[in-house]
Chains A and B, each alone.
Chain A
Amino acid sequence: MAAGLATWLPFARAAAVGWLPLAQQPLPPAPGVKASRGDEVLVVNVSGRRFETWKNTLDRYPDTLLGSSEKEFFYDADSGEYFFDRDPDMFRHVLNFYRTGRLHCPRQECIQAFDEELAFYGLVPELVGDCCLEEYRDRKKENAERLAEDEEAEQAGDGPALPAGSSLRQRLWRAFENPHTSTAALVFYYVTGFFIAVSVIANVVETIPCRGSARRSSREQPCGERFPQAFFCMDTACVLIFTGEYLLRLFAAPSRCRFLRSVMSLIDVVAILPYYIGLLVPKNDDVSGAFVTLRVFRVFRIFKFSRHSQGLRILGYTLKSCASELGFLLFSLTMAIIIFATVMFYAEKGTNKTNFTSIPAAFWYTIVTMTTLGYGDMVPSTIAGKIFGSICSLSGVLVIALPVPVIVSNFSRIYHQNQRADKRRAQQKVRLARIRLAKSGTTNAFLQYKQNGGLEDSGSGEEQALCVRNRSAFEQQHHHLLHCLEKTTPVGPGSLLSSCCPRRAKRRAIRLANSTASVSRGSMQELDMLAGLRRSHAPQSRSSLNAKPHDSLDLNCDSRDFVAAIISIPTPPANTPDESQPSSPGGGGRAGSTLRNSSLGTPCLFPETVKISSL
C-alpha cells in the first residue's frame, strides 16, 4: 500500500502533535521540505494514445521508470508530453498499477509481451496482484515448459549424430531405439511386429473348434488339438525370434541392470518364458494342469506392440499418472459395495430361496447393480430390498462418473503434448530451412555486390549508383563494415595466389576448394556468426565442393583479389580478433601451410579454420 502511505503521511505527522507535550527531550527539527508545486497533470503519449494523470500518482512508486527522473529521457519539449514508443494497450495496465496499487494481468495478451513491458517500465513481476497472480504464474510456467521443449527438440535433432568410432553395441542400441535411422533397423522392426501379430493370432485361432475330418459324431476339437504340430512349429518360430531379439537388446543396452528392470523387458520375458517352461516340464498329468495356466501368459505378447505404437505408450502413461484418481475410485467403490451388500443381505434374509446367501454373495449383486450391468441373476424380492437396490444403482452411477473426466482430461493433455512435440519437430526443420535461405540471401547480396565491383575504391558516382541498386542504408553500412574488416588484414594483391594459374589453381582448388568453397561459405558463416546463428556448414561445404569445383574456380580467378583478400589469412594471428582457438596454426606465417593444414583437417574443424581464414 505504498500509495496509501504517501497519502496518509500528513495525517501521521500531524498526529505526532499528540506526543509533543509528553516529550522529555527536545524533538529533532523537521527535514527541509522543498516548496511543493502543488499537483499538476502530466500527459503521457504512448504510440499516439494520450494518457493523462496527476504527477502525484506517478510519484507513488519512485523506483520505477515513470516515478523517477528516468522519464525525463522521454520528454518531448516541443509537445510538452512524455512519449513512449510502446504498446498502448499494455500501458493501460501499467498506469492502472500506479492508480490503484494493483497490477493486473491482461488475459488475452501474450505473457511474454507483458513481461517485456513490465521490464521496460521497471516493474517487478512480483507486483502482480493476488487476483491475477495464479493465472500469471501458470501461464508463465506453461510458456517456459514449451520453450524448454523447443530447445530440447532442437538439440536432440532427428537422431543424435553418432561419433564415427561408436562401437557395434552403440549402433545396435540406436538401431533398436530409433528404427528410422537405418534400413536394417526398419526391417527388423517390421519383422518383429509381424511375428508378434502372428503369435497372437495363432493363440487365438488355436482355441476355435475345427470340425474333425472323419466327421465322428458331433465331437468338435479345438484347432490346437487337431493340428498340434503346426501350431507348435509356429510357436517355436515366434519364440525363437523373440528370444533372439531379447538377447540382442540385452547385449546392446548401455546399462544392463536398468534394461533388465524396465517394463518392456519384463513383458518380453513374460512372453517367452511359458514356452521354455513348457519344454522343460515333463508331460505329467498333475503338472500339466499348472502348465496350461502358463499358456495364459502367452497373451502378454500383445503388449510387445507398445514398442511399435506410441498411442499405447501414451495410454499406459496416462493410466500411470492418473493412479491417484483410479485409486480413489476403487476405494470409494469398495466402500459403497460393502455398505450396500450388507444392507441387501439383511433386507433379503427373511425371504426363502433367496440368492443372497451371505454378504460376499451380495457383493456380486452390488457390483453388477452399481456398474449398471444388471444381469438379473440376483434380484431382491422384498420391498426394503428393492428400495435399497434402487438407491444402490443410483449411487453407483454417480460414484463411477466422478473420476472419469479427470482421467479423460489427463489423457487428452498428454496426448496433445505429444502431438505438439511431433508437430514442432516437423515444423522446426521447415522453419530452419527458411531461415537459412533468408540468411544466405543476405550473404549472397554481399558477394554479388563485391562481384559487381562495388568495393572498387575508384568507383565514380554513376558506377556506384549502378551497383547500389536497392541497398538500404543498413546494408550499405553493413557491407562497409565487412569491407573494413577485410582491409584490416595486410594484403598484397596477389602475394599468395600470384601463381594462380589455372593448373595449379585447379590442383590447389581441389584442396583449396575445400577451404574456398567453405570460405565463401565461410564469409557467409561469418555473416551468420554476426547474425548469431550457430550452425555448422561443414557438411554443406563438403558436398557442394564436390558438386561445383568450377564455380569455386571461377570465383577464385575472377574476383581473385577479393578472394585472396579473404584467404589472406591467418598469418598474423595478432591482427585477427582473438576468437579462434589458440591452437590454430598461429605460428605459421606461410599461408600455404595453413591452407594445407586446413584442408587436411577433419571436417569438423573446417568451420573453425574457415573462420580464421576469413579473418
Chain B
Amino acid sequence: MLTLEWESEGLQTVGIVVIICASLKLLHLLGLIDFSEDSVEDELEMATVRHRPEALELLEAQSKFTKKELQILYRGFKNECPSGVVNEETFKEIYSQFFPQGDSTTYAHFLFNAFDTDHNGAVSFEDFIKGLSILLRGTVQEKLNWAFNLYDINKDGYITKEEMLDIMKAIYDMMGKCTYPVLKEDAPRQHVETFFQKMDKNKDGVVTIDEFIESCQKDENIMRSMQLFENVI
C-alpha cells in the first residue's frame, strides 16, 4: 500500500517538477528572465578596426614614392584590406600564396614584425609604405639596416646565433621539402656557421650592426644584388 502511494506521489512530484522547469525555460526563451550574465559587450567587440592613412602629401614627403605611385599602391592595398590595416594572418596568407611549395609562416611572422615598426599588431598603410620605401628606393645603408632589423628578432641590437638559426630555418622551410638535391637536416646550421664566420669580426658570438654593414659592404655579390629589386613599382 505504502509503495503504491509512494509511487503515485513520486510521479506526481516528478510531473510537477517537469512542468515548472518547462515553463521557466519558456520564459527564458521569451526573454523575460535572464539566467546567465550574457554580456552585451560581445557585440561591440565585433566592430572592426578602421584606419585611415595620413594625407597623400605627407606620405609623399616621408617616402621616396611619387604621388601616382602612392595612389596605385593605396588602391591595391585598400582593395585587399578595406579596413586599412593588415594583420599577421593576412600576411601569412599572402606569403603562402607566393611560395606555395613550402611553409612560409615563420618567415612571414618575422617579416611582419619587421614591417610593424610601432608594434601594435597591425601593419597600416604608412608602415607598409615606409618599409617599401626603404626596400625599393633606399640607399644601400638603409637596406642593410632594414635587413639587420629583420634578423634581430628581439631588437636588442645584436644578432645571436640562435636568432640567425631561427631566421635560417624559416627561410629553408619556405623552400619546402621538394628540393633537388635534397637539403640535409643541418644545412641551416652550416649556413649559419658560414654566415657568422664571415660577419663576426671579433668572434664574440654576436653580430652588431656595424660589423654587419661593414662585412656586407665588402662582399661584391651582396652589393650587386642590392640593385636587383630597384624598379619594382
Q: How many residues of A contact B (CB 8 A)?
A: 46
Tell me if B168 and A22 are in contact (CB < 8 A): yes
* Cα–Cα, bound, A11→B72 (Å): 13
Task: Name the residue of chain A whose CB is nearest to the CB of B228.
Answer: A30
* Cα–Cα, bound, A99→B76 (Å): 10
Tell me if B8 and A5 are in contact (CB < 8 A): no
Task: Name the residue of chain B whose CB is nearest to the CB of A22.
Answer: B195
Tell me if B72 and A39 are in contact (CB < 8 A): yes
Tell me if A7 and B80 are in contact (CB < 8 A): yes
Tell me if A26 and B233 are in contact (CB < 8 A): no
| A388 touching B15 in the complex, CB below 8 Å, given contacts A7-B79, A18-B150 | yes
A21 interface residue per 8 A CB criterion: yes
* Cα–Cα, bound, A343→B8 (Å): 11
1/0 per residue, CB under 8 A from B, across A468-490: the answer is 00000000000000000000000
* Cα–Cα, bound, A18→B171 (Å): 10
Task: Name the residue of chain A whose CB is nearest to the CB of B133.
Answer: A14
- Report the stretch among A66-74, A346-354, A530-538 that lies at the interface: A346-354
Contact of B16 among A17, A18, A349, A387 (CB under 8 A): A387
* Cα–Cα, bound, A299→B11 (Å): 48
**Minimum CB–CB distance for A515 against chain B, Å:** 70
Task: Name the residue of chain A whose CB is nearest to the CB of B10.
Answer: A384
| A10 touching B132 in the complex, CB below 8 Å, given contacts A23-B222, A29-B228, A384-B12 | yes
The interface residues of chain A lying within 8 Å CB-to-CB of B16 are 387
* Cα–Cα, bound, A6→B111 (Å): 19
| A17 touching B143 in the complex, CB below 8 Å, given contacts A10-B73, A39-B72, A384-B15 | yes
The interface residues of chain B lying within 8 Å CB-to-CB of A164 are none
**Minimum CB–CB distance for A395 against chain B, Å:** 11
* Cα–Cα, bound, A26→B221 (Å): 6
The interface residues of chain A lying within 8 Å CB-to-CB of B228 are 20, 27, 29-30
- Most chain A Cβ neighbours within 10 Å, of B80, B131, B226, B231: B80
B window 191-233: CB within 8 A of A: 191, 194-195, 212, 216, 221-222, 224-226, 228-233
1/0 per residue, CB under 8 A from A, across B127-161: the answer is 01001100110000001101100110000000000
Tell me if B233 and A21 are in contact (CB < 8 A): no
Tell me if A350 and B5 are in contact (CB < 8 A): yes
Tell me if B77 and A7 are in contact (CB < 8 A): yes
Tell me if A19 and B171 are in contact (CB < 8 A): yes
1/0 per residue, CB under 8 A from A, across B1-43: the answer is 0001101100110111011000000000000000000000000
- Report the stretch among B51-59, B92-100, B176-184 that lies at the interface: B92-100
The interface residues of chain B lying within 8 Å CB-to-CB of A36 are 233
Tell me if B94 and A14 are in contact (CB < 8 A): no
Task: Name the residue of chain A whose CB is nearest to the CB of B69.
Answer: A38
A13 interface residue per 8 A CB criterion: yes
* Cα–Cα, bound, A391→B23 (Å): 13
The interface residues of chain B lying within 8 Å CB-to-CB of A18 are 111, 114, 146-147, 150-151
**Minimum CB–CB distance for A137 against chain B, Å:** 27
* Cα–Cα, bound, A382→B147 (Å): 86
A-B contact count (CB 8 A): 129
A1 interface residue per 8 A CB criterion: yes
A269 interface residue per 8 A CB criterion: no
1/0 per residue, CB under 8 A from B, across A382-408: the answer is 111001100100000000000000000
Tell me if B225 and A54 are in contact (CB < 8 A): no
* Cα–Cα, bound, A107→B194 (Å): 63
The interface residues of chain A lying within 8 Å CB-to-CB of B168 are 22
Tell me if A349 and B8 are in contact (CB < 8 A): yes
* Cα–Cα, bound, A42→B177 (Å): 45
B50 interface residue per 8 A CB criterion: no
Tell me if B231 and A33 are in contact (CB < 8 A): yes
* Cα–Cα, bound, A294→B63 (Å): 100
A461 interface residue per 8 A CB criterion: no
Contact of A22 among B75, B171, B229 (CB under 8 A): B171
Contact of B8 among A13, A38, A347 (CB under 8 A): A347
| A24 touching B19 in the complex, CB below 8 Å, given contacts A12-B95, A347-B8, A350-B7 | no
Interface residues in chain A, defined as those with a beta carbon under 8 Å from any beta carbon in chain B: 1, 3-27, 29-30, 33, 36, 38-39, 54, 56, 99, 343, 346-347, 349-350, 382-384, 387-388, 391
Interface residues in chain B, defined as those with a beta carbon under 8 Å from any beta carbon in chain A: 4-5, 7-8, 11-12, 14-16, 18-19, 68, 71-73, 75-77, 79-80, 94-95, 97-98, 111, 114, 128, 131-132, 135-136, 143-144, 146-147, 150-151, 167-168, 171, 191, 194-195, 212, 216, 221-222, 224-226, 228-233
A–B complex contacts, Cβ < 8 Å, 16 sampled? A14-B132, A14-B136, A18-B146, A20-B222, A21-B147, A23-B222, A23-B225, A24-B191, A27-B225, A30-B228, A30-B230, A38-B72, A346-B7, A384-B11, A387-B16, A387-B19
12 further interface pairs, Cβ-Cβ under 8 Å (given A18-B146, A22-B171): A7-B76, A8-B94, A11-B128, A19-B171, A33-B231, A39-B71, A56-B72, A56-B75, A349-B4, A382-B8, A384-B11, A384-B15
